[in-house]
Each structure stands twice: as C-alpha cells, then as structure tokens.
Amino acid sequence: MSEGEVALVVGVGGGLGAALGRRFANAGMAVALAARSGKTNGPLAKKIENDGGKARAYSADVTEEASVSDLFESVRGDLGEPDLVVFNAGAFMRASILEASAEDYERCWRVGCLGGFLVGREAAKAMARRGSGTIIFTGATASLRGSAGFFNLAVGKFGLRALSQSMARELGPKGVHVAHVIIDGQIAGPYSADLAKERGPDALLAPDAIAEAYDQLHRQHRSAWTQELDLRLWAEKF
C-alpha cells in the first residue's frame, strides 16, 4: 500500500489517465487529477471520493509555465507534496507533411514535449530536495519511430523520451526515479469502441493493466529501477 502518499496525474481523459487515478487511489494514495478541462477529471474525483478515497480535480494548461507552477502549488496546499507524478498529456493530428501547418505542428509539440519538460522540472525540484519520488512519462510507438503521417506525434514523443533519459541520469543519484513507458499499441477507451468491435478485445491495450504497471514502477526498489518499459499486446508483431 501507499498510504499517505500523493500522486499527481497530468493529462486525465477517459482512458489511461482515469485508470491511473483509480489505481493510485486504490493503493491508498491521495490523487490529484489534472486536465485542461474538468469534463472527465471532475466526475472521476467525485467518484473516488464517494468510494472512500481522496482525490481533487485541477485545471491546468501544460504548455504554460505559470499554469504548471500554479498546479503544483495548489496540489501541495490541498494534498501535500507529490510522491509520484505522471505526465500523460499529449496532442496529435495526423497529416501529410505536404499539407501540414506550422500552427498544428507547434501545438502538438508544445503539449506533448514542452509540457513534459515543465511538469517534469517542477516535480524534480521538490523531489530532488527531498531525495525521493517517482516521475513517469507516457510514451508511444512513435517514441521509437516516425511513421508516415505521424510526424506531429513522433517529434514530441522522441523529445519526451530524450527528456526522460537525461532526467533519469541526473536525478537518479539524487534519489528520484524517472521512467518512460512506451505504449506500443492503441489503448482501449471511449474513442476506440468501434475498433474493439471490429478487431476484438485483444486488439487494444487495457488501461487498467497499464495503470498496474505504472504503480509497480513507483514501488520498485532503488537497487533495480526501470528507466524504460515497453508494453504491448501479447499477440502484437514487432
């Protein structure tokens, strides 16, 4: 159990973000659920509270430095200093490089990569002073290869992976565990129901199973920390 600990999940939608919030709450952690809007994280926080857990919903724009700073200040005041911070935010627009706009490209990078830096840096400051804590970044297949039409996603994910590696090498000796999770496949959620019907239940990664892996990363003994973990379907060809 993680009684008394505080977890902050940044990027809470109806799929993995929600599963992470539920898993950490079930482990006895007080959970801060951050999203750009309160459409999903607000109701989730209420459900966790109704089930006997402790949760708060927050609104934050990960592309704005002041917003990220305010988020951490609010969480510290309401719940305490986070012991675990997960960066799960991202933006993606599939497009041909021949028709891409600079505006869309920059927006995806700002959410998926700059946001990771701002959240990771804010988490690292307090954890390094304390000498403990876990920071986890959510990656994807695009963290390893850029496919045709997916440059808006791949550039941000490549950068996020590099950020996690640099942070791990600097912060590990200070007692802070930094991990990057490559989710090699599509996650089941409200936007993938049609795909599940078409291909069957084994076509999608279960968000609750992914959340379990994140929880295990946080609990790892420092003598055997994982820096990068890749998760994929058992039948996936790779």
Across residues 12-25, what is the average pLDDT?
Answer: 94
8 A C-beta contact, residue 147 and residue 191: no
Residue 82, pLDDT above cutoff 70:
yes
CA triple 29-227-31, angle to 5 deg: 15
At residue 200 the predicted structure's pLDDT band, cuts being 50, 70 and 90, is confident
Q: What percent of the chain has pLDDT over 70?
A: 95
Residue 2, pLDDT above cutoff 70:
no
Q: What does the chain come to in residues?
A: 238
At residue 79 the predicted structure's pLDDT band, cuts being 50, 70 and 90, is very high
- Map out the domains of the chain with their CATH numbers: 6-230 (3.40.50.720)
Query: What digits encode the pLDDT tens for the residues 103-161?
Result: 999 999 999 999 999 999 999 999 999 999 999 999 999 999 999 989 889 999 999 99
8 A C-beta contact, residue 111 and residue 159: no
Distance CA 92, CA 150 (A): 8
In single-letter form, the type of residue at position 158 comes to F
Q: What percent of the chain has pLDDT over 90?
A: 81
Residue 45, pLDDT above cutoff 80:
yes
**Helix, strand, coil abundance in the chain, percent, nearest 5:** 50, 20, 30
Distance CA 142, CA 152 (A): 10
pLDDT at 149: 86
Backbone dihedral region for residue 142 (phi beyond 0: left; psi -120 to 50: alpha; all else: beta): alpha
pLDDT at 29: 97
At residue 195 the predicted structure's pLDDT band, cuts being 50, 70 and 90, is low
Distance CA 48, CA 126 (A): 26
Both tokens of 116, joined, read 């990771």
Across residues 95-99, what is the average pLDDT?
Answer: 90
Residue 190, pLDDT above cutoff 60:
yes
Both tokens of 204, joined, read 């999608």
Torsion, Cα 95 195 238 136, to 10 degrees, reads 80
Map tokens 């989710």 to a residue: 183
pLDDT averaged over the chain?
93
Would the pTM count as exceeding 0.85?
Answer: yes
Query: What digits encode the pLDDT tens for the residues 22-39?
Result: 999 999 999 999 999 878
- For 133, phi then psi, to 5°, come to 140, 165
Helical spans, DSSP H, in the chain: 16-26, 41-50, 65-78, 102-109, 115-130, 151-171, 193-199, 207-219
Residue 196, pLDDT above cutoff 70:
no
Distance CA 87, CA 118 (A): 10
